[in-house]
Structure 1
Amino acid sequence: MMELSAYERLLTDISGNGRYEKLLVTIALLQAISASFLHTGSVFILGLPDSRCYIPTVNNFSSLANNSFVQNIFIPWDDSTKGYSRCLQYNYNLSVCSGNYTAECIKHTTLNATQRPITNCADGYYYDRSAFHESATTEWDLVCENLYLMTLSSSSYYLGLVFGAAVGGMAGDRFGRVLVIWVATVLTFASSLASAFTGNIYVLIVMRFLVAFCFMPISVNGFVYACEVSRLTFRPILGSLGNAFFGLGCIILAGLAYHWRNWRDLQIAISVANLIIMFAMLLLPKSPGWLLSRNKKKEAARVCHLMAKRNKGTFCNKTFQEASITTDESESTVGIGELMRRPYLRFMLCSNAAVWCITSLAYFGVLLNSGSLAGNVYTNYALGGVFEVCFTLLSIPMITKLGRKNSTVGTMAVTSASCFLSTVAISLGNANTSAATAVVVFAMIGRASTSATFAVIYQHTGELFPTPGRSTAFGLSTLAARIGSILAPFTIQLQYSWPWLPPLVFGTFAAFGSLLASLFPETKGQAALTTFDEADVFMKKHFRSPIVTKLFCLPRDVQPRFADTNYELANLQVKPNF
């Protein structure tokens, strides 16, 4: 079994009892709580309550403003949604009731009307404000013909995450994880706070993009920092811990949103809460791994001494001198090229990216739809967070017992089944109380299982690809996930025409993702791949089925690209993945 690198041995020595190590990892992963506030806050900020056309001749009289009375007389029934229309009304001539607007007069006039013309909502909209006192959707009437603006506002945020991840990763490599976190904290707070004072939806769309762009460097560098200060044995569970913090953030957000029912007040509360959380990250010392990679040995030695002292570990000067993080320029520049030129790695890269995209589509689709579920939106959202935390923590022993592939296949299959069952329950109609409750339960299970899938694929991705191409694989997988999250709001919008369609879409894609993941090699107990040639041989050995090779146009014989490589997977002597 290959010895640990000098840097890994250095981390093992200075980690000692691990108390300070765990503290640093916890602080670095606190950004996941902030991420849950920002990534999913649109459930409340852009909340869409039940709505219908505003009928001035009725709504202006409190004695006649009973919603059931208005709907039964003035609002057409929509067979596609199995509910009253949100965007149409009967336009009766009630002039005979002028000065005498009573229920009896209105009923008599409408029942005896020879014509029942249907028109759009000419006088605006009436909203049920029992859950949201004022959301951006109700303030700017982002319904009916303007519904796309609400969807665009959500998608613009996830688009900002794409660009923020790219810039944040490069900035963190060049200027250091902690410095980038500091700068991004200030920018995130400023842009998030400014969002609460926007004057129209178009400015809010831009501001949400900026918030995501400024925050993503914190998320990227926070997770990288946690990896760089933790021992090799502790690293595999970081993804699960991050997801657990994300679920905890969802629970906290439900409480904040319940207290502040106006979206502007909630946006301010989220900004302040995030600032408090992010201030804790300012306590982090610089990453010793990054310092060594930039040849800042004196500062790295100081940080290592500090960690050794607080962990009650040991600092070995000889190990420190041997430790360095070196990047082979040729490998880093051709990483994407090598991954794409080799058929098996190309198939693995594209398939893995597809699984990430599907998982993100299903997760954010189910989560952002929380406001449309039956029951109290705040209770549903908080309960979903509880499910997430529980399922994510269960994924840690599940990965160990069942393996990476089986865990991914299983959790995605659960997501698919829950979405299909939701489709069946929705088709039974909103009037069926049992069916409505079943939709909520299935949504919770689907949300939790996709969260568990994320925890698994974080680890599996790192083990499927060789060292020179691992960062590239993670980067492309993250990009694919962001594409899924961008598409999720547009998929949800379909429910306003066909309520059963979004869960059917999510379930179908999740089923495909589960089948695709079933083709992946199992990496539990397998040796870590360190070169492209090793990965070639490993993938060829796994994908030896004629059906798979023919179906995906994979060559049957793949030879190592370098003639001097005499490598056999069976003889690989490196540290296995447990």
Structure 2
Amino acid sequence: MDLEEAFQVVGQFGSYQRRTVAVLVLTQVYMACQSMLIVLVGSTPEYRIDQKDDVPLSQQELVQHVTFTEDMDTIVTEWFLVKNQAYKVSLAGSLFFAGLLIGNMVFGPLSDKIGRRPVYLTGLFFGVVFGYITAVSPSFEVFALSRFLVGLMNGGIGLVCFVLTQEFVGKPYWAMTGTLNSVTFAIGIALVGVLGYFVQPWRSLAMAANTPGVLIFLLSLSLPESPRWLYAQGQTEKAEEVLRFMARRNGSPANSLMLQRVRAAKLGGTDNKDMGVLQLAIHPVLRIRTMVLMYVWYACSLVYYGLTLGSGATSGNRYVNISMSGLVELPAYPICMYFISKQWAGRRKSLSGFLCLAGSACLCTMFISENPGRLVDVTSLALLGKLMVSAAFNIIYVYTAELYPTVIRNAGLGACAMSCRVGGILAPFIPSMRTLHASMPFTVFCLSGLSAGGLGLLLPETLNRPSAETLDDLGSPRHVRVLESIALLYDDDKRKSNHK
């Protein structure tokens, strides 16, 4: 039997898989805490500078002349990151996303080669270690380096964690498990706002935000390797062992479970060299998909994190705004789940539609004055845009996993996540474009959302279609099939002419 038939015997989403997925999606809460930490620990309180002229002050002079009038304990107040030093707060946030970028590039292909489980556990362990270094950093330089290293580890565990939640269950449940990842990340953002309200000193907040990672790591030690990865590597017997173990935990008899014996080389194509990141550029189908997906991921990340990281700077209570920024995502997931499961909408149209709606919401902010007393203000439109782009972000995770075959799925997700992190690196600096013009940040978000929504229509639909396990399952792109048909017709005519 093949893998999908085996999951029907084992249970596509049995009790054991539910517990396993629950542990994996909890990792998203930890990642959300790390992603949003800079919003609170980097908050700039009200301050005044006792200076008669406008001559730029050095770091030592700032310490003598700056007085903070708001009672807050952040990295800004500890290291006086104001005026010409204020860029360091955005820099620390960008370094985290730069770490995510490199982590996606390194750990994605690595997990395709050595396995999902060792990469996930190693990244989670060192992510927690570096997270505690953040809390005890003696200087900004150490703080910034620790944020980069935490991002590096998070880049690996986030990608592998998502893939594992897909590969432990049957394909009909991929959309649901993918959505659970997004839901728990949104809950994590909301919890950061609550945690920041009750834990004020930034070092204590960093310690508290990192501690859930310890519990998640201990729970993850019992996780098995992905049976889909084992099968794709030709380790059929080990894949059968994992599937039988899952079946016993689900209460399903599967002693006679036998998978088709297929060599790893055949799974990857005609040769082992077919497996690798290089195939994303060489393979005619994967090349087009990857180019489009990389831009869509970039736009989703730029708009999502730009609106999220900018939530603390909008009018109103910063803790309420951060929590609302997370909670507003929750309605997006049942909405997008409804649309992507309908034949008339599917993955492709739903993705493009939500991205265009997010861009349109950001466009509308340019015509509304920032007045909290109005029924429709900039903050509410920004939250609407966040809801729409959250739905698109959730779809693109599920959609991308379905567009890539198993043998190169992590490499494909890694390449897309790499462009996603480029958007994340730029996102902390976009809200600061308000100094040029109040509408500049939303102009960037608007153009990004609308352009990505248009490009998304170039992708094929995957709803109710079997997932590809090998590169050969992808077939040929449409223009190649047309050329092949023309060539066959030409050969037939030539043979007929010769026969005559």
Please indicate the TM-score interval, normalised by the length of the shorter structure: 0.7 to 0.9
Q: Of 262, 269, 280, which residue of structure 1 is paired with 2:201?
A: 262
Q: Compute the displacement of 1:363 (Å).
A: 0.5
Q: Of 360, 363, 370, which residue of structure 1 is paired with 2:311?
A: 370
Partner of 1:282: 221
Q: Compute the displacement of 1:27 (Å).
A: 1.4
Q: Of 243, 247, 250, which residue of structure 1 is paired with 2:186?
A: 247
Q: Of 324, 334, 355, which residue of structure 2 is paired with 1:383?
A: 324
Superimposed CA distance per residue, residues 3-31 of structure 1 (whole angstroms, 9 cap, x where no aligned partner): xx622222221127712122212212221
Distance 2:473 2:132 in 1: 50
Q: Of 129, 140, 152, which residue of structure 2 is paired with 1:213?
A: 152
Distance 2:458 2:237 in 1: 48
Q: Compute the displacement of 1:417 (Å).
A: 1.8
Q: Compute the displacement of 1:262 (Å).
A: 1.5
Q: Compute the displacement of 1:472 (Å).
A: 4.1
CA contact (8 A) 2:277 2:408 kept: yes
Q: Of 390, 399, 406, which residue of structure 1 is paired with 2:340?
A: 399
Cα–Cα, structure 1 residues 28 and 465, in superposed 2: closer, same or farther, change >3 Å? closer
Give the number of the structure whose alpha-carbon radius of gyration is greater. 1
Q: Compute the displacement of 1:44 (Å).
A: 0.8
Cα–Cα, structure 1 residues 46 and 561, in superposed 2: closer, same or farther, change >3 Å? farther
Instruction: Look up the equivalent residue of 2:455 and give its one-letter code.
Output: L
Cα–Cα, structure 1 residues 532 and 20, in superposed 2: closer, same or farther, change >3 Å? closer
Partner of 1:102: none
Q: Compute the displacement of 1:204 (Å).
A: 1.1
Q: Compute the displacement of 1:522 (Å).
A: 3.5
Distance 2:93 2:70 in 1: 21
Q: Of 42, 46, 51, which residue of structure 1 is paired with 2:38?
A: 42
CA contact (8 A) 1:468 1:532 kept: no
Instruction: Look up the equivalent residue of 1:257 and give its one-letter code.
Output: G
Superimposed CA distance per residue, residues 170-228 of structure 1 (whole angstroms, 9 cap, x where no aligned partner): 44344443333333333122110011111221111111111112233322222222222
Q: Compute the displacement of 1:434 (Å).
A: 3.1
Partner of 1:410: 353
Partner of 2:365: 422
Q: Of 126, 132, 153, which residue of structure 2 is paired with 1:187?
A: 126
Superimposed CA distance per residue, residues 280-315 of structure 1 (whole angstroms, 9 cap, x where no aligned partner): 222323333444556666665554333212211121
Counterparts of residues 13-32 of structure 1 (less than 5 Å): 13-15=9-11, 18-32=14-28
Partner of 2:461: 522
Q: Compute the displacement of 1:481 (Å).
A: 0.5
Cα–Cα, structure 1 residues 288 and 460, in superposed 2: closer, same or farther, change >3 Å? closer
Comparing 289-298 with 242-251, which one deviates more in the overlay? 289-298
Q: Of 117, 120, 124, which residue of structure 1 is paired with 2:65?
A: 124
CA contact (8 A) 1:342 1:536 kept: no
Q: 5+ unaligned residues in a row in structure 2: which ranges?
A: 492-500
1:450 is the counterpart of 2:389: yes
Distance 2:260 2:405 in 1: 26
Cα–Cα, structure 1 residues 507 and 138, in superposed 2: closer, same or farther, change >3 Å? farther
1:144 is the counterpart of 2:139: no
Cα–Cα, structure 1 residues 335 and 119, in superposed 2: closer, same or farther, change >3 Å? closer
Aligned to 1:53, the other structure's residue is in SS state strand
Distance 1:204 1:496 in 2: 27
Q: Compute the displacement of 1:230 (Å).
A: 0.6
Q: Of 41, 44, 53, which residue of structure 1 is paired with 2:48?
A: 53
What is the total number of aligned residue pairs between the two structures?
480
Partner of 2:431: 492
Q: Compute the displacement of 1:403 (Å).
A: 1.4
Q: Compute the displacement of 1:333 (Å).
A: 3.5
1:360 is the counterpart of 2:301: yes
CA contact (8 A) 1:533 1:561 kept: no
Q: Compute the displacement of 1:331 (Å).
A: 6.2
Cα–Cα, structure 1 residues 467 and 15, in superposed 2: closer, same or farther, change >3 Å? closer
Aligned to 1:392, the other structure's residue is in SS state helix
Distance 2:197 2:474 in 1: 53
Aligned to 1:388, the other structure's residue is in SS state coil
Distance 1:510 1:16 in 2: 35
Distance 2:288 2:346 in 1: 21
CA contact (8 A) 1:286 1:303 kept: yes
Distance 2:445 2:49 in 1: 34
Q: Compute the displacement of 1:537 (Å).
A: 3.9
Q: Compute the displacement of 1:476 (Å).
A: 1.8
Q: Compute the displacement of 1:258 (Å).
A: 1.0
CA contact (8 A) 1:465 1:535 kept: no
Q: 5+ unaligned residues in a row in structure 1: which ranges?
A: 56-88, 92-116, 542-556, 567-578
TM-score, normalised to structure 1, is 0.75
Distance 1:324 1:228 in 2: 20
TM-score, normalised to structure 2, is 0.85
Q: Of 70, 73, 77, which residue of structure 2 is paired with 1:134?
A: 73
Partner of 2:495: none
Superimposed CA distance per residue, residues 432-465 of structure 1 (whole angstroms, 9 cap, x where no aligned partner): 4336971221121122211111111123334445
Instruction: Look up the equivalent residue of 1:224 and give its one-letter code.
Output: V
Counterparts of residues 345-356 of structure 1 (less than 5 Å): 346-356=287-297
Distance 1:28 1:329 in 2: 34
Distance 1:411 1:562 in 2: 41
CA contact (8 A) 1:14 1:307 kept: yes
Comparing 248-257 with 282-291, which one deviates more in the overlay? 282-291
Instruction: Look up the equivalent residue of 1:24 and give its one-letter code.
Output: T
Q: Of 2, 16, 33, which residue of structure 2 is paired with 1:6?
A: 2
CA contact (8 A) 1:251 1:385 kept: yes
Percentage identity across paired residues of the two chains: 25
Partner of 2:422: 483
Instruction: Look up the equivalent residue of 1:375 and give its one-letter code.
Output: G
Distance 1:520 1:539 in 2: 14
Q: Compute the displacement of 1:535 (Å).
A: 4.9
Distance 2:92 2:372 in 1: 32
Instruction: Note the aligned Cα RMSD (angstroms).
Output: 3.2
Partner of 1:232: 171
Cα–Cα, structure 1 residues 16 and 222, in superposed 2: closer, same or farther, change >3 Å? closer
1:202 is the counterpart of 2:145: no
CA contact (8 A) 1:17 1:312 kept: no
Q: Compute the displacement of 1:143 (Å).
A: 2.3
Aligned to 1:433, the other structure's residue is in SS state coil
Distance 2:268 2:124 in 1: 29
Distance 1:258 1:335 in 2: 46
Cα–Cα, structure 1 residues 279 and 444, in superposed 2: closer, same or farther, change >3 Å? farther
Counterparts of residues 315-330 of structure 1 (less than 5 Å): 315-320=254-259, 322=261, 326-328=267-269, 330=271
Q: Compute the displacement of 1:316 (Å).
A: 4.1
Partner of 1:64: none
CA contact (8 A) 1:164 1:215 kept: yes
Comparing 10-19 with 375-384, which one deviates more in the overlay? 10-19
Partner of 2:496: none
Counterparts of residues 533-572 of structure 1 (less than 5 Å): 535-538=475-478, 558-559=483-484
